[in-house]
Amino acid sequence: MNLGAVVKRRGLAISHRTFPRIQHRYSSDASFQKPTLTLFENITENGGKLAEITLPDGQACNLKLLRYPWNKTEPTTACLVWGHTKDALDLLAFEPQPVPAPTRPDSYSIGPSTIPGAGLGMFAARDLVLGEAISVERPIAVLAAGPPPEVPADADLQTWPWKALKAMQARARGAFMEHLTEAERTAFSALHGKDDSQRLTRNYVDIGRLPGRYGGEHFAVFRDISRVNHSCSPNVELVWTRDKFCASLHARKPIPRGTELFRSYGPTTFQYWTRSERQRTLQSPYAFECTCASCSLTGDASAESDARRTILYHDFVAGQERVGALPGPQGALTASDDGVRTGMETLLGFHSWVDDHSVPATDFLAPSEEFARIVEEEDCWIGAHSLVHYTRLMLGHATLGNEDQARYWARKAAEQVPGKYFGSQLEDYTHVEEDQPQDFPWWNARGHEQV
């Protein structure tokens, strides 16, 4: 039996003399029920392996430190990812692409926030145009947020031994921080937070999945974008572009010079939550109480705001169910060909309405009109969901031959795609109707039913 296997089974401490490249080993108990973490001193010699976690069943998962994209002339990012992610990135043979420039230079400044006690914030340095890219940044650091894919999906991460695994990952993150370049450390240390751990948890942006078997989120920390404070009625939207490995901030409305910029910290569904649900999430890990317009409401007004957001949530869930019931791969909705159009129209119930004259136009339009009214009252940002309803209103009004309304909703729909600076298929979809509503195949098909 080889020494490595004995070590795994018995949880023995490994001497530096036997394996000089191994510096630390954290295992307080000899029981082989616990995962063990080994941190490597010389990560270059170990192919970027910063740590190896050995699970109770003997499987080993590697945490790898790499610089990405592999491009010497661009700013690159220090990444701490699971071994599979690195392998998948290797396979992609990623061609480095430059970080795109913002729409116009000098669009923002950093200074004391308008919210008492919120520290610094980001401000519009000039009048900003709806949709424009205000800041485009490659992150200082990217870290896998969850456990390795080898951890069984049904494992309760709060209980032993997974709790121990989590603590071990935290130690690996600490070691990762030590491996940042001096410039990265300086930028990271200047961010809000009393220590590295707090700086990480209070400044990260969730950038979602990277390629590879690990299906969880990744956290990215930015020099400037991490300065943007939170509001439940945000005026900017963050877009992560994996191919360019950068994030961009887009204005979701015209923003006058000097205005503080706010984005929503919550997950995609955050805008649908009630006030107390939102406040709970912001307390941990961000540790503040939101004072935006919706969160400052009290009594009946606050209950009404909660009720409005709940209506939006139910509509979102119903929409998800309709997407799930669509024939063919759901990817058709994001494909770059006519599948987008057909999939979208089917989802919206457009085809069945346009052919069934027994269903009045008002029945088709009313739910989307109510949706639009609530979104305006709450001033919330649920771009993709709004896009669906505004497109529906555009389709409906074009079919009724109502040119002004069709153009209006086409423009509103296009505005829900802030990443249009990076090119978007959906933008093409909506712009056809915006520029030439008469080109729409069903233009005026039910023109006799004016509403």
For the bound state, the minimum distance from the C-beta of residue 194 to ligand SAM, rounded and expressed in Å, comes to: 11
Place of tokens 């009720």: 307
Name 241's bridge partners.
246
Closer of 173 and 278 to ligand SAM (Cβ): 278
- Nearest CA to 242 out of 262, 218, 226 is that of 218
Q: Is beta strand 229-230 parallel, antiparallel or unpaired with respect to 260-263? A: parallel
Closer of 23 and 291 to ligand SAM (Cβ): 291
- Nearest CA to 344 out of 418, 243, 253, 432 is that of 432
Closer of 96 and 111 to ligand SAM (Cβ): 111
Listing DSSP states for 292-333 in one string gives SHHHH--HHHHHHHHHHHHHHHHHHHHHHHHHHHSSS-GGGG
For the bound state, the minimum distance from the C-beta of residue 282 to ligand SAM, rounded and expressed in Å, comes to: 8
Closer of 135 and 229 to ligand SAM (Cβ): 229
- Nearest CA to 138 out of 28, 248, 44, 263 is that of 248
For the bound state, the minimum distance from the C-beta of residue 223 to ligand SAM, rounded and expressed in Å, comes to: 11
What does the CA dihedral 402, 389, 312, 385 come to, rounded to 10 degrees?
-150
For the bound state, the minimum distance from the C-beta of residue 236 to ligand SAM, rounded and expressed in Å, comes to: 13
DSSP single-letter state for residue 255: B
Number of Cα atoms under 13 Å in the Cβ half of residue 33: 7
Q: Is beta strand 77-82 parallel, antiparallel or unpaired with respect to 141-144? A: parallel
| Binding residues for ligand SAM (CB under 6 A) | 113, 115, 118-121, 191-192, 202-203, 226-227, 229-231, 286-288, 290
Which is it for the CA torsion 293, 297, 300, 304, positive or negative? positive
Contacts of 301 (CB under 8 A, 6+ apart): none
**What's CA 313's distance to the chain center, in Å?**
19
For the bound state, the minimum distance from the C-beta of residue 222 to ligand SAM, rounded and expressed in Å, comes to: 9
Closer of 110 and 335 to ligand SAM (Cβ): 110
Please identify the residue of the shown chain whose CB is closest to the bound ligand SAM: 119
For the bound state, the minimum distance from the C-beta of residue 218 to ligand SAM, rounded and expressed in Å, comes to: 17
Closer of 99 and 191 to ligand SAM (Cβ): 191
Closer of 38 and 294 to ligand SAM (Cβ): 294
Closer of 115 and 451 to ligand SAM (Cβ): 115
Closer of 192 and 322 to ligand SAM (Cβ): 192
Closer of 56 and 119 to ligand SAM (Cβ): 119
For the bound state, the minimum distance from the C-beta of residue 119 to ligand SAM, rounded and expressed in Å, comes to: 3
Contacts of 38 (CB under 8 A, 6+ apart): 14, 22, 24, 25, 51, 52, 54
Give kind and range of the element (H or E) at residue 401.
none
Our CA angle for 234, 235, 236, nearest 5°, is 95
Determine phi and psi for 431, rounding to 5 degrees: -70, -30
For the bound state, the minimum distance from the C-beta of residue 126 to ligand SAM, rounded and expressed in Å, comes to: 21
How far apart CA 272 and CA 268 sit, in angstroms, is 9
**What's CA 108's distance to the chain center, in Å?**
22
For the bound state, the minimum distance from the C-beta of residue 225 to ligand SAM, rounded and expressed in Å, comes to: 9
For the bound state, the minimum distance from the C-beta of residue 280 to ligand SAM, rounded and expressed in Å, comes to: 15
